[in-house]
Amino acid sequence: MSPTSVGFRYGASTTSATWEDVPCTNGSQFSTTLTGLTPATTYYYIAYAVVDDKEVKSTRHQFTTEKGLEVTITSHSCEDLTDDSAYLSASYTATLNSANITPTAAGFYYGVGTTLDNATKITTATSANLTSGSGSYDYWLNGLNPDTKYYWWAWVEVDGEEKKSDRREFTTASKVSTKPVVDAEWLELPAELTGTPCEGAYVWTVKDDTTRNYTIAYNTSEYATYWVAYNLKASHMGSLSRPSSWNYDTTADAPDPNYQVNVDNTYNSYNNGAGHSKGHLIPNASRNGDEEMQKQTFFYPNSVPQIQNGFNGGIWSSLEGALQTIGKQEEIFIVTGTAFSKVGESKSISYTSTKSDSEKQVPIPNYFYKVVLKVNKTNSTVNDAKAIGFWFENKAYEGSYTNYAVSVDQIEKWTGLNFFVNLKNDLEESAESNTSWSEFQSF
């Protein structure tokens, strides 16, 4: 016998007398869709059928509606790709029961796999720096592998639930060449850095208009300057006043300012001179005969944390002055560098920061060195050469810099670098074996 009516009764109370009746089309099977329900609410219901004027009811069931949480996440195109970094950004909207709500956290997932299974999760923002209803957030992703495809997702956490964007992808750039495009006259430039402790450094040349000033090797992810290479002659030096401020290097080939450390204020480890000052690798006084070149010695990457009292302001400054005296008489070629460990050695690395860029941790070099070259030429051909090196720990000293003279060969062994490669092999071998400062002076 067919029922004369069928339907459902439901309500938010266990008392069925207050339930609403929802008739359905007669049949042995029937269903309905309930609308206008309250979010996050438990409802109770029964199904019924009237047969021969008698109502037959099912057992009572229940369900709970979901929260009225509406979240949309939009991940934006990946920008500013380099060989080891990418800039990620996303935006969101978030409401709960039609009212604006602030996410408790937001960030990104990323990895080389196409799923989230092995992806790395990064939290980049919390409720303290997220806004109610809608907002955006971003992140500089560093330490990536060159020429590699990565997949990423944006996420926000709202009312205890994590919501994700659709998957996106980017491919990092090919590795930056570590071999400068050099002229044979740039005698001080080291060989390429592949296979050395400086491998992966970004190498560029700072120019005054079209005139080369110096070449620099800098680790953009570690904020570490490995070396600065430059020539020094009388025309570079003069009596210009010392510039009063430091600046980002924005010359044509320099890395983005995001990869540089603002050292307008001194390092937090300065300690009234007992700690680390802003040590120039190419000194101000080696370029104070040309205003633009001098300003370029105050670019942030040319600064490294160096013990001030008894080192940067003492023995190191005396060595720089001695080289400037020679440079006023003849052109010389210099590489000033830092090291964190000798080859085969494992030393711990301490870090500092500046008040003007406190989020960036700057590694403190354990060692400083200089290698210096003199040459004799017939016309434009080098026919003889002499070199000398100096090696120091990053600490206070007493006594003369001459006590720390070593051969360039020795510094090559300690650093893993190859200096003065533009010399002919026999001249390079002879020049780099010298350990005598007096022989270098009189050459």
Other CB atoms within a 10 A radius of the CB of residue 6 amount to: 21
Which residues does the chain have with pLDDT short of 50? 177-183
pTM: 0.62
Do 69-171 and 202-442 have matching folds?
Answer: no
What pLDDT sits at residue 185? 60
Q: Which residue has tokens 């620099």?
A: 216
The set of residues, in sequence order, having a beta carbon less than 8 Å from that of 29 and lying 6+ positions away, is none
Task: Find residue 93's DSSP bridge partners.
Answer: 72, 134
Q: Which of 349, 369, 348 is nearest to 416 (CA)?
A: 369
Q: Tokens in use for 345?
A: 């050695």
CATH of 69-171, one of 2.60.120.620, 3.30.460.10, 2.60.40.10, 1.25.40.340: 2.60.40.10
Residue ranges of domains in the chain: 5-64, 69-171, 202-442
Task: Find residue 381's DSSP bridge partners.
Answer: 378
CATH of 202-442, one of 3.90.1150.10, 3.40.570.10, 3.40.50.300, 1.50.40.10: 3.40.570.10
Tell me the C-alpha distance between 70 and 94, whole Å.
6
What pLDDT sits at residue 283? 97
- Contact predicate 352/253, CB 8 Å: no
Give DSSP secondary structure letters for 92-107: EEEEETTEE---SEEE
What pLDDT sits at residue 266? 85
Tell me the C-alpha distance between 122 and 120, whole Å.
7
